[in-house]
Amino acid sequence: MMSYRAVLLCLVTLTLPSALAKPPGVPPGPPFDPPGPPETPPGLAKQTVRFTVLHTNDHHGRFWRNGDGELGMAARKTLIDRITAEVEAEGGEVLLLSGGDINTGVPESDLQDAEPDFVGMNLLGYDAMAVGNHEFDNPRDVLAAQEALAQFPFLSANIYDADSGDRIFAPYQLFDVNDLSIAVVGFTTADTGKLANPDYVAGLEFRDPRDVAATLLPMIEQEHDPDLIFAVTHMGHYANGANGSNAPGDVALAESLPAGLLDMIVGGHSQNPVCVRDDGSGEYADFGPGDPCLPDNKNGTWIVQAFEWGKYVGRADFAYRKGRLTLESYALIPVNLKDDEGNVIVEPIEEDAEVLAVLQPYQDAGDEALGRVIAQSDGRLEGDRDVVRSQQTNLGRLIATAQNEVVQGAGFGIMNSGGVRASIEAGEVTYRDVLTVQPFGNTVAQATLSGDELLEYLGEVASKQIGSGAYAQFAGISMEVDCQAMSVSISAIGGVDFDPSGEYVFSIPSFNAAGGDNYPVLEVIDTGFVDAQILAEFMEELGTIQVADFEPMGEIQYLNSLSDTGCQLE
């Protein structure tokens, strides 16, 4: 049976007036004040209780400031402490949550199994985190060690042991926040089984969070009767629930439940600032650092997400009175983000000295490790700009092959030449060499097209003109490219004869899948794996790179062109 709180919340429309003061320079969210519910009968009223939820997500190894002096956990600590002191001075309390994906993205972190990141989270005082799909990028014993190191719970209610049927993480945690009882439930994208290394998710079952929530949340209501129920998720926010080929995300979760049963979702995974237009369309607003942000609200549930990498700390100031939750102010506060001239956009944030002192040895160790030899090459891997943008090269093919191998079921790979920034000479190959070749930190996406769709897509991509960064490097596919007609004839993919009626999976940089280099936009699943990390691990596994194994052998033929290595029409 639902508690009075849950019944009442079914009638509530939350409000967003700008009431609490924000940190200097950070504008409040835009006003949004529909009529409130009837007053609670005498005797059931509760004094107004104020509290603040701070949140981040998709940290991806960014424990240290970047090369431009942005981000970093030391500056984040200063910001969190400042907000906490402000909130407590006004009689409130703070709850600090993470939407997951602490692992994978920066070599200094990856090489140390994200230990500095979890140590940093302890110092910053996180209360709970959702388990992200990238928490499964390492063997399970590494994940267990990370969970033991963390001084806060890893939450996921929908990951089960396939044999026993038991959950492998705590499904929820109860918090006392300024005398309010708040249940925080965790959920992980059901796509994790497809995105993670099969060896690391073997024996696990990733159930649909909507099905799990439908039974778990009423059980929490009945057993604990909390004042509020929040979810901390790693599922993705997709405007109006249009998740495409991705598993259902936060909007779908909110809309699947009785109205008002779930009060807030702190999300991650899609790595976008969830700021919606104030016209009721549910579409994303045009948001930049320092701009006001109106979070999404679906079915009585506030839904927030703070982009990625600790670029922002999300701040939601709430008031709770008479069974009614009011979001009084919301902002995404940038952490030393700078403009094109190198100026901090909102206000400089000093780095916390204690956090710097604790994390410095990790940064030093990671920097030293970048000089570590990961492979030997018996010849030059060609990535010079004037070469890689005008012909198929061994390095272009090696990169496309490495990316292809991390995408489950992929038959071939595409790599834009603009993403190849240097050659690698014969001899020892270090991690630093790899980062010189691929410095942008792009991720690799998984695309799926029918045979006929693929012919149309490659007709445009493979005919990009030589000399441009859009010129495509290929691995695993044999075809002829008609440069004048902008069409292709595919003979084989992955060594198997091409079938126009078949279905084909391939790897492609997320940059290009999103339309970069003027490629057609694709509906993809972003694996989240960073290109340089993929290349380094592929080279390390090879040990010795035989460059002849990656030399182009005429698999891509260009017709009706002034050049036989690419499309050149004039």
Distance between CA 81 and CA 63 in Å, rounded?
A: 17
Let me know if 271 is a catalytic residue: yes
3 state DSSP class of 392: coil
Let me know if 421 is a catalytic residue: yes
Of 140, 277, 321, 421, the active-site residue reads: 421
Eight-state DSSP code of residue 380:
-
Let me know if 385 is a catalytic residue: yes
Q: For residue 293, report the phi and psi dihedrals to the nearest 5 degrees.
A: -135, 120
Q: Tokens 């038959």 — which residue?
A: 411
| 3-state helix vs strand vs coil in the chain, percent to 5 | 30, 25, 45
Q: Tokens 């936009």 — which residue?
A: 521
Of 110, 137, 352, 531, the active-site residue reads: 137
Let me know if 101 is a catalytic residue: yes
The Cα-based distances of 289 to 344, 346, 347 in angstroms read: 10, 8, 11
Let me know if 380 is a catalytic residue: no
Q: Provide the pairing of β-strand 128-130 with 503-509.
A: unpaired
Of 5, 60, 315, 397, the active-site residue reads: 60
Let me know if 286 is a catalytic residue: no
Summary count for the chain: helices (H), strands (E):
16, 26
Distance between CA 214 and CA 208 in Å, rounded?
A: 10
Let me know if 58 is a catalytic residue: yes
Distance between CA 52 and CA 327 in Å, rounded?
A: 9
Let me know if 47 is a catalytic residue: no
Eight-state DSSP code of residue 87:
H
Q: Which residue type sits at 73?
A: M
Let me know if 549 is a catalytic residue: no
Distance between CA 117 and CA 216 in Å, rounded?
A: 31
Let me know if 389 is a catalytic residue: yes
Of 269, 315, 324, 397, the active-site residue reads: 269
Q: Tokens 């989240």 — which residue?
A: 528
The Cα-based distances of 185 to 182, 193, 227, 337 in angstroms read: 10, 20, 14, 31
Of 5, 101, 263, 297, the active-site residue reads: 101
Pick from 519, 285, 563: nearest CA to 417: 519
Pick from 322, 397, 233: nearest CA to 47: 322
Of 59, 234, 237, 397, the active-site residue reads: 234
Of 5, 50, 55, 58, the active-site residue reads: 58
Give me 495's structure tokens.
């060594």
Of 57, 133, 272, 512, the active-site residue reads: 133
The Cα-based distances of 176 to 5, 156, 366 in angstroms read: 16, 20, 38
Distance between CA 531 and CA 445 in Å, rounded?
A: 10
Element (H, E) at 145: helix 140-149
Burial category of 411 from C-beta neighbours within 10 Å (exposed 0-12, middle 13-18, buried 19 and up):
buried
What's CA 181's distance to the chain center, in Å?
30
User: Which amino acids are annotated catalytic?
Assistant: 58, 60, 101, 133-134, 137, 234, 269, 271, 385, 389, 421
